[in-house]
Amino acid sequence: MPRMITDTSRSPYARVAGVPFRDVAWTGGLYKERFDTVAAVTVPHLQHMFEEKDISHVVENFRIAAGEAEGGFDGTVFGDGDFYKWFESAVYTAVRTDNRQLLDQLEEYIALFGRAQLEDGYLSTKQIIGEKQGNGVQRQGDINDFEVYNMGHMFTSACLYYRLTGKDSFLQVAERAAGYLKNLYEEAARTGEVKTAVCPSHYMGLIELYRTTGKKDYLDLARLSVELRDSVQNGLDDNQDRLPLKQHRKIVGHAVRANYLYAGVADLYMEAGDPEYRTVLESVWNHLVSQKMYITGGCGALYNGASPYGNFFDHQLVHQAYGYEYQLPNVTAYNETCASLGGVFWAWRMFLMDPRAEYMDMLERMMLNVNMAGVSLDGRKFFYENMLQRARKLSYELVWGQTRTEYIMSYCCPPNLARTLAQTSEYAYAADENGVWTGLYGANEAHFELKNGASFALAQQTEYPFDGRITFAVSQSNGAAFKLHLRVPAWAQQATLTVGDVRQALIAGTYAEIDVSQPEGFTCVLDLHMEPRLTVGHGLIEEDRNQACVEFGPLVYCVETPDAPDAASLHDLLLPLNVQFCKAEADLDGHAIPSLEATLLCQKMDENEREQLYRSFRAPQLQPCKVRLIPYFAWDNRGMGEMLVWLPLAWRKL
């Protein structure tokens, strides 16, 4: 039974496939710490939020739809889908920790889904309740009711549950819902009356149903649902259906919807192999990473903005927009957590199509920086948006505030983040017929059964991402040879590989291939030499001109107010050209976080001058100032204060 996300082992246009969840486990380090926190804290915390009818009303909506509770629909229209995402995080953690109580509770939820589901397979609580109560709400009445989005997450969650537990109870509910969707889409194809399916999670979900059940109807339905996009009348940049899909060459519109769309199209390509879809995917991906992505991997710079495809005057207002090329503000950076999670799903699928280091590098950047920043170190508080600068005070209000919170009215990000952090071990490796490809690095143990007959265990020992030395050891081998492909990140300009007594230099941004001809007892050491480095942005990123950020290995670092006690404001800090960093450790909310310490320059400024919109220039008085920098993922765990990722360059030495 296949038991991994995006099981492409039989996909004709995928070069590699994921490794089953049960066959890979983190044994230490950051990823294990995050998984353990999700299992012990985040999953039960989110379950409480979904159960509380005075908070989210999500589970209560299912009970009302099933006729087991009184009242009307309440909460968000995508609450059903949010609960299915939480369900995935619960499955991952319950299976890994053998939490029998939680697994029993999941069966109870599945039974509730079944009781709420209508005879024709339809399942979306707002519409079921509305039709029962005759309040004017009905199915397919408003594209922004996220009905198909909810079903898409149901499909994915049900497939995962079957793969990890072997139980088909949820799969039966999902297949009935897919039958409803099949009738709906076939009728739309006959009549030509096609509505936009916003935030199309169902493309990925339908392909997962196909891969899990082997039923070609689901592949055909996925293909039809994608093709019907081109029949939408008066399409919008917001939903990426303004232009026919095969004409897409730029990343535009709503960032979450875009990333979900292209992840789903990548799934369809790996099964159907349409070369025009591959051209779309590669073109749009390159546009994203070369002109519209934050240094943290954040996606979707603007709360509201324009994403014109053509004439500057011919544009539409877009929510959670990618905006114009190089339009990457810091204080108001939107960067919805779900957008970067969608970026992970998309990057992973691009990697399965074509295992190039650049895709896994970007997945790692998103995962370690913006995604991990989305949740507090204690696992209970969340960011919806992810800024790169927090000001001491603002003259305006941001939509979601400047600190994490336990409950957000739009609660899509917390369960999406929980399921993704719970599944990180599935991004550690991929495999082809003859070998293993490394993905996310971290201390782990894995077991492989390759199609060429090789069977073996592989272990990593490392402190990555805080140290670049990674030792690989093979054991439990049946003696069959295999290839080991080691990712050399683009930032690792001084990487080396040591096998026995032979040490060789590696090329950054590639995969190094090792022929493991005598597997039992084989060891090698990958050394991704890490030094803190300054990174600058493209000249057209206006807010980052003459500034730099600090990176160390795959991590982006930042400065918070408590770590620059001698500066009146973080805006007074300047990076000298000869800045030197040393490793240190910061205690953040009881967590020991590897950090960097350095001496920067600090300018003294009169507070009255600081508040002036413009002032006469005077050469600043600069003094040395000791500063600590922490990984961006660990910020906002010590209360309100300033935060900076980008620091002005002094253009002089200390």
Q: Does domain 17-427 have CATH number 1.50.10?
A: yes
Residue 312's pLDDT is 64
Residue 472 above 80 pLDDT? Answer: yes
Indicate whether 496 pLDDT > 90: yes
Q: Helix %, strand %, coil % for the chain, to 5?
A: 40, 20, 40
| Model confidence pLDDT, tens digit, residues 70-87 | 999 999 999 999 999 999
Express each pLDDT in 519-548 by its tens digit. 999 999 999 999 999 999 999 999 999 999
d(CA 232, CA 148): 15
Q: How confident is the model at residue 605 (pLDDT cuts 50, 70, 90)?
A: confident
pLDDT digits (tens, 9 = 90+) for 277-308: 999 999 999 999 999 999 999 999 999 887 65
Confidence at residue 305, expressed as pLDDT on a 0 to 100 scale: 83
pLDDT at 2 over 60: no
* 17-427 and 430-528 have identical folds: no
Is the pLDDT at 410 greater than 80, yes or no? yes
Judged against a pLDDT cut of 60, whether residue 1 lies above it is answered with no
User: Average of pLDDT values for 220-242?
Assistant: 93
Q: What is the pLDDT of residue 308?
A: 59
Task: Judge contact between 129 and 69, C-beta under 8 A.
Answer: no
Predicted pLDDT at 11: 95
Of residues 308 and 393, more confidently modeled: 393
**Residue 429 pLDDT class (50, 70, 90 cuts):** very high
Q: What residues form DSSP beta bridges with 557? A: 631
3-state SS, 441-497, equals CCCEEEEEECCCCCEEEEEEEECCCCCCEEEEEEECCCCCCEEEEEEECCCCCCEEE
pTM above threshold 0.75: yes
Confidence of residue 3 (pLDDT cuts 50, 70, 90): very low
Average pLDDT, whole number, for the chain?
95
Residue 311 reports pLDDT greater than 70 = no
What is the Cα–Cα distance from 170 to 109, expressed in whole angstroms? 9
> Into which CATH architecture does domain 430-528 fall?
Sandwich (2.60)
Least confident of 4-8, 23-27, 375-379: 4-8
Question: Would you kindly state where each structural domain of the chain is located, as residue ranges?
Answer: 17-427, 430-528, 533-648
In sequence order, the β-bridge partners of residue 534 are 550
pLDDT beyond 80 at 328: yes
What is the model's pLDDT at position 425? 98
